[in-house]
Amino acid sequence: MNVAVLGCWHVHAKDYARSAAAHPDTTLIAAWDHDPELGQALAADFGIEYTDDLDALLARDDVHAVTVTTETTRHTEVIGKALAAGKHVFTEKLLAPTVQECEQLVAQAAEAGLALVVSLPRLSQGYTLAVRDVVASGELGEVTYARVRLSHDGAVHGGNPGWLPDRFFDPVPSVGGALTDLGCHPVYLTQLLLGDDPEIVRAVYGNVTGRQVEDHAVVTLGYDTGALGVIEAGFVSNDAFTIDVHGTEGSVHYTDDGGGRLWRRRPDGATEELTVPADAPEPFSQWVSHASDATVAQENLHRAVELTRLVVRSNEAASGSQGEAL
């Protein structure tokens, strides 16, 4: 399957290009970006063709599939054009800025019989599978609380402005800041553990670097079961990724500090170390399989749409609305 890169705006553009170059069933052949500087740089790094003509690239019979890493605001247009041209699509999150646009793209892919997959990589990590299984087993009793924190120092590395490109702090193409970008991972993990659709969403966004968008964020969720969720994300601290899930009969915890540790706390306070299982296939490989087998990534697309729904609600809550269900 010959793959072209559409858009080099996102920092993961080269990661997915590497995946296309390395996967035994895909070949990376071309790159497009409306910004020649970004597009030519990626094309030079991988020794592939660069073009500034998106329509011409999508019209080529030798391009079977595309990765989309444009600005979030261009996703709907670019993904829609790719699907209309008969290309399988692998895209960076968010799938689109709004739920309605997400649902339109999912429907378009299904009608065309094309594989559409969104990069939600932590869903296939072994620690997520293990935590999910402990929760599903009922061993924690009634789940009462979950917290997921993910941060990096992209805005303040070494006391400097940071390694994250300035374009990530422009609210127009990015559709938001730390929550809309890095926060997507804690969002979809919290939804996996507590449920897709909380009754209440509250959000507080902070800005310690003076950028145009928030550089760290906390979102709290309230569910009709009485359970609470806390989502934390930021660009201003490089600390451990953590998952904590508490129930009436104990808790389960994961941290990547020190190479990764997974453990369970029992009702009597005793702790038990758990083994982190092997990862499931990562999203890019899932996409290639769906394209090859002519199957639909139903769970991935469900998670992608619900992720967008909760990100939109969080952004609205931070801006002053009550975060009630849409």
Q: Is the pLDDT of residue 116 over 50?
A: yes
As a whole number, mean pLDDT of residues 255-272 equals 95
Asked if residue 78 lies in contact with residue 7, where contact means CB atoms within 8 angstroms, the answer is: yes
Domain ranges of the chain: 2-114, 122-281+309-318
Query: What pLDDT, on a 0 to 100 scale, did the predictor assign at position 320?
Result: 84
In Å, how far are 16, 25, 33, 38, 63 from 43, measured between CA atoms? 13, 20, 10, 9, 15
pLDDT per position as a tens digit, 64-112: 999 999 999 999 999 999 999 999 999 999 999 999 999 999 999 999 9
Nearest C-alpha neighbor of 164 from the set 18, 12, 318: 12
Instruction: At 232, list the tokens.
Output: 């934390």
CATH code given to domain 122-281+309-318:
3.30.360.10
Nearest C-alpha neighbor of 54 from the set 72, 84, 32, 71: 32
Considering the domain delimited by 2-114, tell me its CATH architecture: 3-Layer(aba) Sandwich (3.40)
pLDDT per position as a tens digit, 172-222: 999 999 999 999 999 999 999 999 999 999 999 999 999 999 999 999 999
Q: Is the pLDDT of residue 326 over 50?
A: no
Burial of 207 (0-12, 13-18, 19+ CB in 10 A): middle
CA distance 79 to 58: 11
Q: With b meaning 16 or more CB within 10 Å and e meaning fewer, what string describes 13-51?
A: bbbbbebbeebeebebbbbbbeeeebbebbbeebebebb
Query: What pLDDT, on a 0 to 100 scale, did the predictor assign at position 159?
Result: 73
pLDDT per position as a tens digit, 274-324: 999 999 999 999 999 999 999 999 999 999 999 999 999 999 999 985 444
Q: Is the pLDDT of residue 325 over 50?
A: no
